[in-house]
Amino acid sequence: MLADDRPAAPRWFEAGRSRYQHEQSGLDHVRRLMPDREPYRAWATFSFPTPSGHLPECDLLMATPAGLFLVELKDLGEHVTNDGGRFVFRRSGAKRPRVLHNPLQVVDQKSKDLRAQLRRVASRERPGLRVPRVEPAIFLTTPGLRSELDDIHRVRVYGRDGESTGLDWIWRDLLGQVPDEQLVTEDFSAVLPELLRHLGIAAADAYRWFGDWELAPEPLDFGSTWEDRLATRNSGVREEGRLRVYLTAQQATGDARASVERLARREYELLRDITHRGIAQAVQFGHHRDNPAILFRHQTSDLRLDAYLALYGKSLTARQRREMVRQLAEAVRYAHSHSLCHRALAARSVFVSAKTDGTSPVLRIADWQTAFRGDDVSRLSSIGKSSVNGEHLADITDVYLAPEVDAPRADAVRLDVFGLGALAHLIITDEPPAERRSDLIDRLTAERGLRTSGPLGELIFKATRVDVAQRFDSVDSLLFEMDRVERNSIGDEDRDPVDPLTAVPGDRVDKWLVERVLGTGATARVLQVVREIVDDDRTRTERRVFKIALDEEKAVRLRAEARVLAQVGGGVVVRLLNGPRLVSGRTILELEHAGEESLAARLRTGGRLGRRELARFGGDLFSALDQLAARNVRHRDIKPDNLGVLQRADGARQLMLFDFSLADAGPGDIKVGTWGYRDPFLGTADRPLFDDHAELYSAAVTLHEMASGVRPLWGDGTDPRMTDDRLPTIATAEFDPSLAKRLAEFFNRALHRDVEQRFRDLAEIEEAWRTVFGPTRSRRRKPPARPRRVQTAIRTAARPIRSAVDRRRVWMLTALAVTGAVLAAALVADRPASTNQAAPGPTTSSTASSTPRAPTTSPSASGPRIPAATDLTLTFTVDDIAGYRIGDSMIGQSRQRVNVREVITDPESATASSLAAWVSLYQAGAVDPSRLRTGEAVSVAGRTGYYLPAVAEPGYYGANRVGKPTIAVEYANDSWYLVQSDDPLPKARETLLKVAAAVRLGVNRTMRFPVRFDYLPTGLRACGGADGLDPARVGVQPWEGSVELCDDTFGRYDNGSTETGVAIRIGMVADPSYPRPRGSDRIAGRVVDTWSQGATVDCVEFVLIVNVTPSHESRYPEAEIRKILESITVRGVQDRSAWFTGMETLPTIP
């Protein structure tokens, strides 16, 4: 029927001869053998569109009596073998073999897509027409080919007819077969050209260009929403790259296309400013066939990690494998320091560049399309975490992804930690964690993590623990474990000679022993080294930092950095001690040691800084900026990662500014620096160049992170320029409550979008920072006159300071005005404010302390109540718990409290720990039990307890009234103790049960203090205290103590949400670094500085601070404070047996 009226047509359709000789040779081989009769037809070198946006390129489609066949032609070498599912091609004269996954998988997908499209067209143009299956096949066209593919992987793979290749022949055994039942009829063959025309096939090379970059005919890799192609450009010099094309479906709506466009731009924006040898570098954004596309740096010889291991794994030493793991970890750590998490690390996400023999591998992480950028990685576990979108991933990545990857609030940092562990498993064992996702889940269920043997076995297990809370909490922790492994493996292999770029702990570099690998950045690798020096029969240890250029191009940057450090080094800026010089062919700078940890690491593990540390470290940062300003130098990358925390010889800690690799950047280069710290409002008509405001902006962001543990957030955390906000969101709720208002005012000005609204210069912002910690003046009356010495100090503090020595002197004077509330607040509530949502909780009563001593009142029926009186005696303890230690104990906020700390691994300190839980004991009637009894009943040491996932802590209200996981135990009639934790669930529940069972009642410990007050104004009573004598605390840190006094009026500051009701706070500090009074005023022979709200007294072995709450200034004026100080009796800090016990400290209180 159709055959009778169809026009004559050629049987071989080819737009033009292929530019690739091997491809054309293979096509000619088939064409010579194809008969010129129905139903034989062929289409060569064409592409066809798919609904997903893919444009698959096809070498040969043939219609034969045996069916439709889609044939892929390959000429990659004369010898082919397979390693599992990978084909390995070797060509004589080639420097390295070619490795690719079985290409049949790709052709099979093309075949399915082509048939689906033909069926779609047929249903419209030829209803009822049946389209047969399109069968995939591989034709290896190389003349003289020798195949050693195994029986499984030689299926559907063919060689040339007439040659002994070890494979079936393409024509005789496939295309030339004539079955008994013809699968492609003459009628179908005749209509097939029409179907293909309607489908829209085109010449294969029609879309092989991206600007002036030529694209490879076959995708390098692809997913359902993207494909990668190799790209080359010849403009005098041959350049190579990889083009990632994001595909938009043909039927996609405008919104869907816009979404894909945003996804692509997002990946480009994420990576554009990231410069690290271990992270794929994005160099250009554009469009390919109306689809958004990103061009990356890439070399044709680069191999995927699994392919590299298949080729060269057998020649790798254990040390080389560990170095590969370290490279990946350092790259991820660098990304995390730039607030970027990958979330889907897998073997296909890692490319390896190496020499032609496979040596010197450099690993590079790609595929950041599912990456997450938070306003701060340190709080990625608590903000804006969306699940990883599986449509952008391929199935073969599944065996490397954490089990919780699909959870809507999966911890992005720990997802990357798991991915690193899974990749380490591959690198160390040459085997993926599992063959399929289901197998991985089964293995993790059985092993609770990936278990392997060898030195890195424990590291891999800890990185891949099923229990997220037991996994490494950061890449820093993983690398710390790597350092330990390297030190313990020193005898395994011959380590001489050693390249400084691959040196690990235990190696020697130029007579120095490597202690730690501090990391690899954009220009250099950094080592901490040590050596012992003998001087006059005395051995001393000297530490330095070696900064090693990654290559000669980066060495230019190091030499520029050395010139800058020669000008500004010293004080709170690291000094250049030697260099630049060559060691084993590498350019090295020898720098002053800046401390055992960075400020960023300190903030990640400990959260926001305490008040005194915040004031001190802020002062250090301004001192560093002052040093730079004096030499007209800008750092250009101020952030916590570039500030070390150094413990000085006197025991005090200070910041040290380092990494001046960007200090020589030109003012027009406004993109250098780190996202999140870099001033986002540069590059406008008003501010086209880098300026001093931008340097101070970075410093202000760093100060904000020091004060809160997080960075300020503009808009939704993406590009601040895309918002209309004049100010970022300041993390006021995370600040020390006693400083929150003044810190918010400081940052609202320092971070303002409009530089005209910011501080004018360094002197003004530094003065404003000091004012944050200065005295709070009463708004009701003029403060009484200060002694002349104090007036002079304050006037001095008000003018610009240009000398670090002057700044220290003024700081010590003005710091005396720091409210004593800080010390007491730190002891009473020594954890950062939670970001959990507020939850209903029990209400407080006015009678909760060790022993009630006076009636209490509240300012209103619904308002907060004055803390109850106490005799400064604790009446319970917490017994020892394995893995934990008992921390500070205290009385305050109408309760007794004991902190419980989890012991953590820290070779530098046997007492390192983090707050795990706290126990608060309330007296009868102090807590409303109605809410508590609604919890899950649990047994606690023979008593009935109640577990609730979120209960507000009694005694706090307003911004601090937040829900905590809680176990409440009724220890006597209507008397309760609460065990609470900030740990995430489900870990918190386990911790609470352990701690609750260890609470022991009826164990009295009366507090002791080295001072007695023989005069206190009438009406005051003790309502809180902490003597710092807990066994776990003594000897670990400088001694601190406090006593809180209340009267019949609720003590208030300016912010009602942070009040505690205290009238006077008395603090005692034996920290040598704490500023001592320097005034000329003396009371009872002691040096004293006084102000309207209190005083500081030099008691020789400690500093005494008396601070009056602003609401009580008029009740306890300066004259009363002086009378109190005239009455004190002081004992030495060291002889604790002579201290005053309990209420002996306050003998005038009945």
Tell me how far apart the terminal alpha carbons of the chain are, to the nearest angstrom: 117
Tokens 């020892």 sit on residue:
880
The dihedral through the CA atoms of 263, 264, 267, 269 has a sign that is negative
Helix, strand, coil percentages (3-state) for the chain, rounded to 5, are: 30, 25, 45
Burial category of 862 from C-beta neighbours within 10 Å (exposed 0-12, middle 13-18, buried 19 and up): exposed
Q: Are the C-beta atoms of 712 and 747 separated by less than 8 Å?
A: yes
Residue 141 vs residues 21, 78, 752, 1135: alpha-carbon distances, Å? 10, 10, 66, 92
Instruction: Please spell the DSSP secondary structure of 1046-1093, one letter per residue.
Output: E-SS-B--S-GGG--B-SEEEEEE--TTSPPP--S-EETTEEEEEETT
**Across the strands, what pairs with 966?**
948, 980
Non-local CB neighbours of 611 within 8 Å, separated by 6+ positions? 736, 738, 739, 773, 818, 822, 826
Amino acid at the residue 399? V
Non-local CB neighbours of 193 within 8 Å, separated by 6+ positions? 9, 13, 41
Q: Alpha helices, DSSP H only, in 670-803?
A: 692-708, 740-750, 762-772, 788-798
Q: Are the C-beta atoms of 995 and 965 separated by less than 8 Å?
A: no
**In whole angstroms, what separates CA 499 from the centre of its chain?**
29
Cα(918)–Cα(1095) distance, integer angstroms: 32
Which tokens hold the place of 875?
Answer: 């009446």
Strand runs labelled E in 278-323: 282-288, 291-297, 303-304
**Across the strands, what pairs with 1067?**
1042, 1105
Q: In what order do the strands lie in the sheet with 653-657?
A: 597-598, 643-647, 653-657
Tokens 């002691």 sit on residue:
1086
Q: Are the C-beta atoms of 554 and 512 separated by less than 8 Å?
A: no
Residue 1147 vs residues 40, 1007, 1015, 1095, 1143: alpha-carbon distances, Å? 112, 14, 8, 21, 6
Q: Alpha helices, DSSP H only, in 860-986?
A: 929-932
Which tokens hold the place of 172?
Answer: 């005789």
Q: Are the C-beta atoms of 343 and 310 separated by less than 8 Å?
A: no
How many other C-beta atoms lie within 10 A of the C-beta of residue 583? 17
Helix, strand or coil, per DSSP, at residue 398: helix
Cα(46)–Cα(57) distance, integer angstroms: 6
Q: Which residues are annotated as a binding site?
A: 547
Helix, strand or coil, per DSSP, at residue 154: coil
Closest CA to 366 of 390, 389, 350, 354: 350
Q: Which residues are annotated as a binding site for ATP?
A: 547
**Across the strands, what pairs with 461?**
none
Tokens 């070390």 sit on residue:
644
Burial category of 860 from C-beta neighbours within 10 Å (exposed 0-12, middle 13-18, buried 19 and up): exposed
Q: Supply angle C-alpha 614, 615, 619, rounded to 5.
A: 110
Helix (H) or strand (E) holding 1011: strand 1011-1013
Q: Are the C-beta atoms of 30 and 60 separated by less than 8 Å?
A: yes
Strand runs labelled E in 109-155: 134-140, 146-147
Residue 187 vs residues 34, 122, 124, 127, 182: alpha-carbon distances, Å? 19, 14, 18, 14, 12
Q: Are strands 221-222 and 226-234 parallel, antiparallel or unpaired?
A: antiparallel
